[in-house]
Structure 1
Amino acid sequence: MILAPDPARWDCRFRAAAGMLGGMNRLTPALVLLVAASAVPARPPADPKRDPVDTSFLKRYAETRGFLLGRPVKPKVTPDGKHVLFLRADPATKRQSLFEFELATARTREVLSAETILKGGAEVLTPEEKARRERQRVSAGGFADFHLSPDGALVLVKLGNTLYVLERTTGTVRELKAGGDGPIVDPKFSPDGKFVAFVRGFDVACYDLAADKEFAVTTGGTVAKTHGLAEFVAQEEMGRHSGFWWSPDSKSIAYAEADHTGVEQWWVADPLKPEVPPAPQFYPRPGKKNVTVRLGVKSVAGGDTVWVEWDRAKYEYLAAVRWGTGTAGKAHLLVVIQDRKQQEMVVCAVEPTTGFARRLFADTDPAWTNIPAEVPLLTTSGIIWTGTGPNGPEVQLRNHDTGALVSILVPGTDHVLGVAGKYTSPHGGGRLFLPGHCVSLTAPDPTQQHVRVTPIPLDRSELLKPNFPLAEPWERFTDEPGMHTGAFGEDGQHVITSTTLKQLPRSRVFDAHKKALGELPSVAAEPPFAPNVTVEKVGDFWTAVVRPRDFDATKKYPVVLDVYGGPRHLHVVQAMRNWLVPQWLADQGFVVVAVDNRGTPGRGRDWERAVYQRFGTVPLEDQVKGLHALCDKFPELDRERVGAVGWSFGGYMAANGVLRRPDVFKAAVAGAPVTDWEDYDTHYTERYMGLLPASAAAYREASLLPLADKLDRPLLLVHGTADDNVYYRHTLRLSDALFRAGRRFEALALPGVTHMASADPVVMERLWTRTAGFFRSHLGGPR
């Protein structure tokens, strides 16, 4: 997915804590390229000696990864319900260590650190690990993740290219002996806790903990035909970061074979280091060859792979794989496949011994289907699925054997975002945890996310009871306006992580009866201010307005539109971290505003699908309407002096604004913009734009390149030269088109920077100072 670069404001998604790629070398100062030709003259830049800018906040923001370093992340409740394990970074070293919170005493202790294992040595990340962290937007070094054995007695961690197992009761750390060459990726315990599986190089391998020995599960994997690895678009666009899955009995592994034969190969080079060979990457583009994926099942004891059979010519995408235990303890294997148009998504039941895939049910849409997270979820009562209903996404219970709809657990009118998991409540009733975009059942508010539970049956006989399951009321675990997520134990213990407009994420621990037991301790620095932001619906659009902290209501302020605009993403949310950098920018003499246009989730199917094949027009039209509605409501906003700033899809929107609507936007800073959609990846682009050549007109209409000769407003293009998501090629192509059209613009290259903007405090300071100065020069100050 086209995302923002780092935990700065240009971070576009409220997921887990994100940040710079761990282990990246300190970057050189940004290289500035200025290309000039005839155009409307710009005002001279502000004089920094006469008009100084305080950048200390920007430096501190970058050093602390947006004040997130030192906050607990990835909490997991142990199977016995007595502890919560979590990661927390040391703000000084920027390395994450493992901690344990005891529910009975509310005491926290450090369990394991990278320093303990490395004994002062340096952490070295493989290129494969760096790429994986880039896809997952992982921040600090140290432990990127950890895995609990099924009984909770062991913890699996990875440092560099080595696996370690910690015995929790004794504190003993065991290094798993290397069994071969090649980078280790995606380690995980078997369901019985006797093995650890992972990908080494391009094949799935297993480690027998009792025998203290590694052995191969698959063989013959190559860089072009990988076994057990998720391909690029699966990681970047589909939310699937794994390529292999254990069976419930720990006897077999299902794995994906990704064949890249014929897929276009692109190269990422560092212009400042011409002596370093470029890094290759398979990058499928619209209308061109896709990765060919098939699924195999193989016994860890040996034997041949059983290949799963489906119409792979029609359904190119393997969206999800789920093992589970269904009726009578029988193991089930479900696969979710998608056609290339992404207008049909099919759930199939697979017979692991033969590979026969039987169609159970499907979701279809004339525009596109969305891949739901965490489902299908297998329970003893049936298959839990987030499907498309007449009023939007709904949580469904479906029959194991036929796929037939049994019950609607949560209707689409409840504005549900998705399913987070299940657990057994203290009263014995099965529950689903659902984070949903709603203030209440009757007042949906997509700026918030709340955690609620709803009953599901544990036994099929319960389905025969009258009015099941809606006779039992659902419960909401959170009420305070903000963004809330949850991590839940098997017996109802849970951790709720919350952020509001006045507070950065904090994680509170509760028992099964919702009694508060304490808070996972943070050692993070706190921001020096709370944003002066208001979030409200204005006209048809949810909006945010950030005013200077020394706001003077008698003055007119230039406006900076902080834009994203892409589909399936909520930009305007009640989360403090989203508005810290905009507050600094506002304090330089602007009012910063944001608008969520059509295409965003939580407001019905038609609202979301309105952007289909209309990237260049609908989002921009809505941004202009929302902006004008704000200017009509708030007289301090000067509609004659409006700029736009954004990254990734937001960079595309900012550039699109000055090219198509120079009457509205007087200046723009476009970071890592997609400038032509034929140069972005297949799964994201074709989902919203259709297939080539049939949809060529939509691609031409959305491209910025044909608009180059229309530029008559100041435009600053910013792009990292090492970006392997939105390639630097995008900015170079637009720069070339603008230059050849004789238009004046500025281009700022960030050497060595990926799609996540640099965490280097110097670069952070200079980039945002440059942005503020650019808007000062072209929009002026308060009047």
Structure 2
Amino acid sequence: MRHLSAAVLLVSLSAFAQTSPSKPMTERKTDSFLRQYSETRRFMSGRPGKARITPDEKTLLFLRTQPTSATQMLYAFDVATGTTKELLTPDAILKGAEEQLSVEEKARRERMRVSSRGFTTYELSEDGERILVSLSGKLYIVERSTGKVTELKTGPGVIDPHFSPDGKQIAYVRNNDVFRIDLAANKEQPVTKGGTEQKTHGLAEFVAQEEMHRFSGFWWSPDAKSIAYTESDTSGVEKLTIVDVMHPEQGGTAFPYPRPGKANAVVRLGITPVTGGKTVWVDWDAKAYPYLATVTWQKGGPLTVLVQNRTQTEEQLLAVDPSTGKTRLLLTEKDAAWVNLDQDFPRWLEDGSGFLWYSERNDGPEVELRNPDGSLARTLVKPEAGFRGLARFIDKDRTLYFHGSSNPTESYLWRVKDGGAPEKVATGTPAPAFEMPVTLSKNGGLLVTLSSTPTTMPSFQVLRPDGTRVGELPSVAAEPPFTPNTQLFQVGKEGFHASVTRPRNAKPGVKLPVILYVYAGPTTTVVRHGMAENLLNQWLADQGFLIVKIDGRGTPLRTSSWERVVKYDFATITLDDQIAGLKALAEKVPELDLSRVGIYGWSFGGYMSALAALKRPDFFKAAVAGAPVVDWLDYDTHYTERYLGLPQEHPEAYEKSSLLTYARDPNTPVAPLLLIHGTADDNVYFFHTLKLSHALFLAGKPHELLPLSGLTHMVPDPLVTQRQYERVLDYFRKHL
């Protein structure tokens, strides 16, 4: 459930804004802060993104929009002078025409949580001389030395283009097959043939994109002579249809969507010469390990695949012989609950001496150096270091860069030099902070970090490896009009991390109603040091609320055992810990009025909000549930079965975790509940909310429903965002 991640968190945090309490909402003037917040996309429009460093470390490329725009343009930052110039705009290519996206490209962007337009991504050739951009399903090459832009002669509807390792070719998917184009001849040639809508070549299937973070379905060989590609057969997968309810005459679009206990896509991996020819299919025990989770084909190592069993309690890392498709076992990972994936691993060393591997077998994240045969050489990063993500491994001096912290609310940049102890890279950012490395140059001489603190919005710092500041990628974003008044705590016998956002004019000792912003599920925490995620929380607090966030058990970034307590039960510990955390927090913050507690969340947080209204109306006096998963039998296989098991084997897990279990009983009360859902959501389908509304109606339980017409799991439209949260604030004013 990648919609539980930070991308959706940013959308969900736009939960609140000010309106005048003295007038009905229909009579009020639009609040200036809420309007600005929505139009600037949470004050993030105009900030740089997708930075790439040229091999000579002289230039940084990045994308950026204007302050109130969603259209990204391409820029270049000169390291020596600190100056920035515009390289290319979508308008220069489209010349006034509107950008067109295929259904497949829209779905892919939804999986990647991309709501921007224009250049949403780009690639830099290995030698740094050429830039590849795509727009409206077409490809363009930018020559860096001259600025010349060439349109490649492809057919329409190009998806997922990538340079070959030698930079002389580009491969991509079109019409469900893999194609390539030789840049010298500018001529398209098919690599695979026979792909169909139900048996695609080179595209990642739904659960690979949504849950595994594997967004591609083909990979170049290091010598650029072969391509490995997936064949994903969805003919046996259940199809769910989305209809634009405002335009039923247009019909619906059907998507293969595997629900728990039902058929998944059948995925196999083939290798074929780029010039076309016979496909060699990779041979592994697909019956025991049906999920193709990760594929890598890197310099220094063989074609390597990671495959998982259906319940994700066991996985095998296999080396592949491309000439025969035969595999040999490198290692096996097992966990009684589940095994987490990290797509940065395995990472083969370029000299072929081994590979980096990620494991949680010792109750926390570790990075290991493995020998070429898969045996353990040594551990590079131990569990107590708080590893969260690999930044880069520099082969030249065998230095590993990563971000993380033993404190889940903070993150910093670290390096490990050839097996030594992790040392913090002094970036100059004042603690506490939330830093993430964006990119490092291949030779390690330059790096870019994304840094945010409680008093600063995210910024992109350009640094040397010793932390020396080179510059900052320029932002043109509008800046927020205030700094959140947020304080972090650690409370309760379990040591929950929590935060409280107070009114800026708060008076000590004056009790205020509480709104709990909740996520509480696997994969995501909400309590962290950062300004951006508390902006609307602060605005709401200024209207007379205390906004609280708590990370209980079941969330990541603590120990593995802390995260795995939700196995077979989403509905008990998750909710109990939120209540226990609030009670413990009230001992430190007596202004919390626990007789007036509301709760709000989106996605898994929406599920938790509805659960709170249904199970604990004695404690929660109002709830707003955005895009909630209502019945876990209706969510996807890879996410749900990881935590709740197969429904045929653990029906009780699905019964106790379903909101319908609590909604159907006419003898139990429900707290005031507002349901919000996009009608075109292809992740948590709109029928989830309709099922809950129907069950509540039949049980005689009043509630309210706000459908967002045509919206998906993301809510990028500024006016919809604005109106949505005017309604949310009104609801909490009314009931708290």
Instruction: From the superposition, tell whether residues 672 and 68 of structure 1 become closer, same or farther in structure 2 (CA, over 3 Å).
Output: same
Given residue 723 of structure 2, which amino acid in structure 1 is its aligned partner? R
In 2, Cα distance between the equivalents of 1:68 and 1:122?
A: 24
Q: Provide Cα deviations, 1:385-425, integer angstroms capped at 9, x if missing partner.
A: 1112324110001111x20011001111212113222125x
State whether structure 2 residue 686 is matched by structure 1 residue 728. yes
Instruction: Within 5 Å, give how 1:608-619 maps onto structure 2.
Output: 608-619=563-574
Aligned with residue 167 of structure 2, among 193, 197, 200: 193
Instruction: From the superposition, tell whether residues 742 and 189 of structure 1 become closer, same or farther in structure 2 (CA, over 3 Å).
Output: same
Aligned with residue 42 of structure 2, among 56, 66, 69: 66
* Equivalence for 1:628: 583
Instruction: From the superposition, tell whether residues 49 and 234 of structure 1 become closer, same or farther in structure 2 (CA, over 3 Å).
Output: closer
* Equivalence for 1:777: 734
State whether structure 2 residue 244 is matched by structure 1 residue 267. no
Shift of 1:297: 0.7
Aligned with residue 399 of structure 2, among 431, 455, 458: 431
Instruction: Within 5 Å, give how 1:90-109 maps onto structure 2.
Output: 90-109=66-85
In 1, Cα distance between the equivalents of 2:341 and 2:190?
A: 32
Instruction: From the superposition, tell whether residues 643 and 512 of structure 1 become closer, same or farther in structure 2 (CA, over 3 Å).
Output: closer
State whether structure 2 residue 446 is matched by structure 1 residue 446. no
Question: Any conservation in 1 of the 2:568–2:653 contact (CA below 8 Å)?
Answer: yes
Shift of 1:758: 4.0
Does the residue aligned with 1:129 lie in a helix, a strand or coil?
helix
* Equivalence for 2:348: 378
In 2, Cα distance between the equivalents of 1:7 and 1:368?
A: 24
Instruction: From the superposition, tell whether residues 5 and 483 of structure 1 become closer, same or farther in structure 2 (CA, over 3 Å).
Output: closer
Question: Any conservation in 1 of the 2:568–2:645 contact (CA below 8 Å)?
Answer: yes
Instruction: From the superposition, tell whether residues 552 and 474 of structure 1 become closer, same or farther in structure 2 (CA, over 3 Å).
Output: closer
Instruction: Within 5 Å, give how 1:215-254 maps onto structure 2.
Output: 215-254=189-228
* Equivalence for 1:135: 111
* Equivalence for 2:338: 368
Does the residue aligned with 2:534 lie in a helix, a strand or coil?
helix
Does the residue aligned with 2:3 lie in a helix, a strand or coil?
coil
* Equivalence for 2:626: 671
Q: Provide Cα deviations, 1:271-311, integer angstroms capped at 9, x if missing partner.
A: 11111111110000000001111110111022200100001
Question: Any conservation in 1 of the 2:78–2:84 contact (CA below 8 Å)?
Answer: yes
In 2, Cα distance between the equivalents of 1:160 and 1:278?
A: 23
In 2, Cα distance between the equivalents of 1:553 and 1:740?
A: 46
Instruction: From the superposition, tell whether residues 8 and 616 of structure 1 become closer, same or farther in structure 2 (CA, over 3 Å).
Output: closer
In 2, Cα distance between the equivalents of 1:10 and 1:645?
A: 14
Instruction: From the superposition, tell whether residues 46 and 135 of structure 1 become closer, same or farther in structure 2 (CA, over 3 Å).
Output: farther
Shift of 1:10: 5.4
Does the residue aligned with 1:657 lie in a helix, a strand or coil?
helix
State whether structure 2 residue 299 is matched by structure 1 residue 336. no
Given residue 376 of structure 1, which amino acid in structure 2 is its aligned partner? P
Instruction: From the superposition, tell whether residues 418 and 7 of structure 1 become closer, same or farther in structure 2 (CA, over 3 Å).
Output: closer
In 2, Cα distance between the equivalents of 1:184 and 1:312?
A: 30
Aligned with residue 712 of structure 2, among 754, 758, 770: 754
In 2, Cα distance between the equivalents of 1:374 and 1:550?
A: 46
Q: Provide Cα deviations, 1:581-619, integer angstroms capped at 9, x if missing partner.
A: 211222222101010011122211110101111101110
Instruction: Within 5 Å, give how 1:338-353 maps onto structure 2.
Output: 338-353=308-323
Question: Any conservation in 2 of the 1:165–1:176 contact (CA below 8 Å)?
Answer: yes
* Equivalence for 2:267: 293
State whether structure 2 residue 393 is matched by structure 1 residue 393. no
Q: Provide Cα deviations, 1:662-696, integer angstroms capped at 9, x if missing partner.
A: 12111100010011000000011001110121111
Aligned with residue 531 of structure 2, among 573, 576, 594: 576
Does the residue aligned with 2:653 lie in a helix, a strand or coil?
helix
* Equivalence for 1:558: 513
Given residue 450 of structure 1, which amino acid in structure 2 is its aligned partner? Y
In 1, Cα distance between the equivalents of 2:6 and 2:574?
A: 23
* Equivalence for 1:474: 423
Shift of 1:346: 1.2
Does the residue aligned with 2:271 lie in a helix, a strand or coil?
strand
Shift of 1:474: 3.2
Shift of 1:117: 1.3
Aligned with residue 503 of structure 1, among 425, 434, 456: 456
Does the residue aligned with 1:417 lie in a helix, a strand or coil?
strand
Question: Any conservation in 1 of the 2:426–2:466 contact (CA below 8 Å)?
Answer: no
Instruction: From the superposition, tell whether residues 211 and 52 of structure 1 become closer, same or farther in structure 2 (CA, over 3 Å).
Output: closer
Instruction: From the superposition, tell whether residues 188 and 514 of structure 1 become closer, same or farther in structure 2 (CA, over 3 Å).
Output: same
In 2, Cα distance between the equivalents of 1:105 and 1:288?
A: 58
Instruction: Within 5 Å, give how 1:101-180 maps onto structure 2.
Output: 101-178=77-154, 180=155
In 2, Cα distance between the equivalents of 1:8 and 1:189?
A: 30
Question: Any conservation in 2 of the 1:190–1:246 contact (CA below 8 Å)?
Answer: yes
Shift of 1:552: 2.1
Shift of 1:92: 4.3
* Equivalence for 1:42: none
Q: Which has the higher contact order (CA 8 A, sep 6+)?
A: 1
Q: Provide Cα deviations, 1:212-231, integer angstroms capped at 9, x if missing partner.
A: 10000000000100000011
Shift of 1:2: 4.9
State whether structure 2 residue 522 is matched by structure 1 residue 522. no
Does the residue aligned with 2:390 lie in a helix, a strand or coil?
coil
State whether structure 2 residue 622 is matched by structure 1 residue 652. no
In 2, Cα distance between the equivalents of 1:541 and 1:512?
A: 34
Given residue 185 of structure 2, which amino acid in structure 1 is its aligned partner? A
User: 112-121 vs 307-316, which deviates more?
Assistant: 112-121
Instruction: From the superposition, tell whether residues 111 and 140 of structure 1 become closer, same or farther in structure 2 (CA, over 3 Å).
Output: same
State whether structure 2 residue 597 is matched by structure 1 residue 639. no
Question: Any conservation in 2 of the 1:77–1:489 contact (CA below 8 Å)?
Answer: yes
Shift of 1:6: 9.6
Shift of 1:554: 3.6
* Equivalence for 2:18: none
Question: Any conservation in 1 of the 2:4–2:523 contact (CA below 8 Å)?
Answer: no
Residue ranges of structure 1 left out of the alignment (5+ in a row): 20-44, 439-443, 457-468
Give the total of aligned pairs: 720
Given residue 732 of structure 1, which amino acid in structure 2 is its aligned partner? L
Does the residue aligned with 1:324 lie in a helix, a strand or coil?
coil
* Equivalence for 2:417: 455
Q: Provide Cα deviations, 1:467-494, integer angstroms capped at 9, x if missing partner.
A: xx23x66343446322211110022211
Question: Any conservation in 2 of the 1:491–1:512 contact (CA below 8 Å)?
Answer: no
TM-score (norm 1): 0.89
User: 185-194 vs 512-521, which deviates more?
Assistant: 512-521
* Equivalence for 1:491: 443
* RMSD (Å) for aligned C-alpha atoms: 1.9
TM-score (norm 2): 0.95
In 2, Cα distance between the equivalents of 1:501 and 1:720?
A: 32
Given residue 128 of structure 1, which amino acid in structure 2 is its aligned partner? E
State whether structure 2 residue 667 is matched by structure 1 residue 685. no
Given residue 254 of structure 1, which amino acid in structure 2 is its aligned partner? A
User: 575-584 vs 69-78, which deviates more?
Assistant: 575-584
Question: Any conservation in 1 of the 2:7–2:113 contact (CA below 8 Å)?
Answer: no
Shift of 1:354: 0.6
Q: Provide Cα deviations, 1:721-756, integer angstroms capped at 9, x if missing partner.
A: 000000001000011100000111111111101000
